[in-house]
């Protein structure tokens, strides 16, 4: 097999983002992909790179993750995030985590500690504090836009449960190691305690050096039911090209459970694909020696 290409692919969430905000979201994805690539070029692992890219998106209030996360029906932030590396199939996740600035870092701490794969709610917060993470002042993470989205949802003017703006990244390093990371505030107006696909290995996030890596976005309940990230990677495993696998997985999401969403996918050689069945999914790709490009492929039609 030829040497893998170091690459970072990020998404800023599937949804229906107006043109002017979509351009900003693509720019945010480009910044995140570049930051992830810098980690790879400095000798970091695929896992370090995917995590770094997601941190950048969590810090960007434009996206529904970390700062700017959407609010529960009680007006609070509850965060879901996960990381997975494809060499040892190690994973770490937090679910329904109260406000901490970078939940993906806490997911990484869960992975590194290795005792459990997923921590939730108050237990996740206690774990984070024990690992030296400081809880954030909720007011510092709640944006005017997220308050407005909740108000709109309460007035019944927004689609119940829309999960636009979830963020994620997949990375391949020069050794061919693969990793994926995903982070979200979930869906607007969700019940407190609701957990979506993003922290669940195999649903929102999956990586296996023997096949590929995937991060998903969209309707979490539907993505959980089809195990979307694992489905896409397994389609690579049986020999589909990344583009075919991504399309087939999203087609399954639509056909089997009527789900909407998207994903970014990498194969073992660092060949990538992005696919979605919503109107928009901001995304970007960073490869060594090449300009960072955003919005490279068109959405999947007819699913």
CB of 217 to ligand GLY, least distance (A): 5
Give start and end residues of each alpha helix (H) in 114-219. Answer: 121-130, 138-141, 144-154
Where does this chain touch ligand GLY (CB under 6 A) — which range of 100-108, 129-137, 139-147, 212-220? Answer: 212-220
**Of 69, 36, 77, which Cα lies nearest the Cα of 54?**
36
Q: What 3-state DSSP class applies to 242?
A: helix
Q: Are 104 and 142 in contact (CB under 8 A)?
A: no
Contact of 126 with 133, CB cutoff 8 Å:
no
Q: Is 280 in the site for ligand GLY (CB under 6 A)?
A: no
Which two three-digit tokens encode residue 87?
């060499």
230 interacts with ligand GLY by CB under 6 A: no
Q: To the nearest whole angstrom, how small is the minimum distance from the Cβ of residue 88 to ligand GLY? A: 26
If one asks whether residue 149 binds ligand GLY (CB under 6 A), the answer comes out as no
Selected binder of ligand GLY within 61, 66, 220, 270 (CB under 6 A): 220
Q: Is 28 in the site for ligand GLY (CB under 6 A)?
A: no
The verdict on 177 binding ligand GLY (CB under 6 A) reads no
Say how many C-beta atoms besides its own lie within 10 A of residue 149's C-beta: 21
As measured in angstroms, the least distance from the Cβ of 96 to ligand GLY is 11
Q: Does 215 bind ligand GLY (CB under 6 A)?
A: no
CA–CA separation, 174 and 178 (whole Å): 10
Question: What would the two tokens of residue 289 be?
Answer: 């020696």
227 belongs to the binding site for ligand GLY (CB under 6 A): no
DSSP codes joined into one string, 17-64? --HHHHHHHHHHHHHHHHHHHHHHHTT--HHHHHHHHHHHHHHSTTSS
Number of residues that bind ligand GLY (CB under 6 A): 12
Site for ligand GLY in 179-208 (CB under 6 A): 184, 186-187, 196-198
Exactly one of 217, 252, 260, 280 binds ligand GLY (CB under 6 A); which one? 217
Strands 90-97 and 118-120, sheet pairing: parallel
Among 36, 218, 227, 262, binds ligand GLY (CB under 6 A): 218
The residues annotated with a catalytic role in the active site are 166
Q: Which of 29, 69, 163, 263 binds ligand GLY (CB under 6 A)?
A: 163
How would you write 112-137 as a 3-class SS string?
HHCCCCEEEHHHHHHHHHHCCCCECC
Q: From the CB of 45, what's the least distance to ligand GLY, in Å? A: 25
Which residue number, 207 or 240, has a Cβ lying nearer to ligand GLY? Answer: 207
Q: Contact residues for ligand GLY (CB under 6 A)?
A: 80, 163, 166, 184, 186-187, 196-198, 217-218, 220
């Amino acid at each position: 097999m030829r040497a893998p290409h170091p690459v970072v692919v990020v998404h800023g969430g599937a949804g229906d983002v107006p043109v002017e905000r979509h351009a900003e979201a693509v720019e945010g994805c480009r910044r995140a992909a570049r930051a992830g690539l810098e980690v790879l070029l400095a000798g970091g692992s695929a896992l370090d790179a995917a995590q770094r890219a997601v941190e950048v998106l969590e810090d960007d209030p434009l996206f529904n993750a970390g700062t700017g996360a959407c609010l529960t029906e009680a007006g609070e932030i509850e965060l879901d995030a996960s990381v997975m590396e494809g060499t040892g199939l190690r994973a770490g996740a937090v679910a329904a985590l109260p406000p901490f600035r970078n939940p993906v870092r806490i997911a990484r701490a869960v992975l590194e500690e290795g005792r459990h794969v997923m921590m939730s709610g108050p237990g996740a917060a206690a774990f984070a504090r024990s690992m030296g993470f400081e809880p954030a002042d909720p007011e510092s993470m709640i944006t005017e836009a997220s308050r407005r989205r909740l108000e709109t949802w309460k007035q019944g003017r927004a689609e119940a449960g829309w999960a636009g703006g979830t963020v994620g990244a997949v990375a391949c390093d020069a050794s061919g190691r693969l990793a994926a990371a995903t982070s979200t505030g979930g869906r607007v107006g969700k019940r407190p305690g609701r957990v979506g696909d993003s922290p669940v290995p195999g649903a929102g996030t999956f990586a296996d050096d023997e096949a590929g890596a995937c991060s998903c976005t969209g309707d979490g309940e539907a993505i959980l039911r089809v195990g979307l990230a694992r489905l896409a990677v397994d389609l690579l495993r049986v020999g589909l090209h990344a583009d075919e696998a991504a399309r087939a997985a999203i087609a399954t999401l639509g056909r089997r459970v009527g789900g909407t969403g998207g994903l970014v996918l990498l194969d073992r050689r660092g060949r990538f694909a992005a696919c979605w069945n919503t109107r928009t999914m901001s995304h970007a790709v960073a490869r060594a020696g090449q300009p960072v490009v955003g919005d490279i492929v068109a959405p999947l039609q007819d699913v």
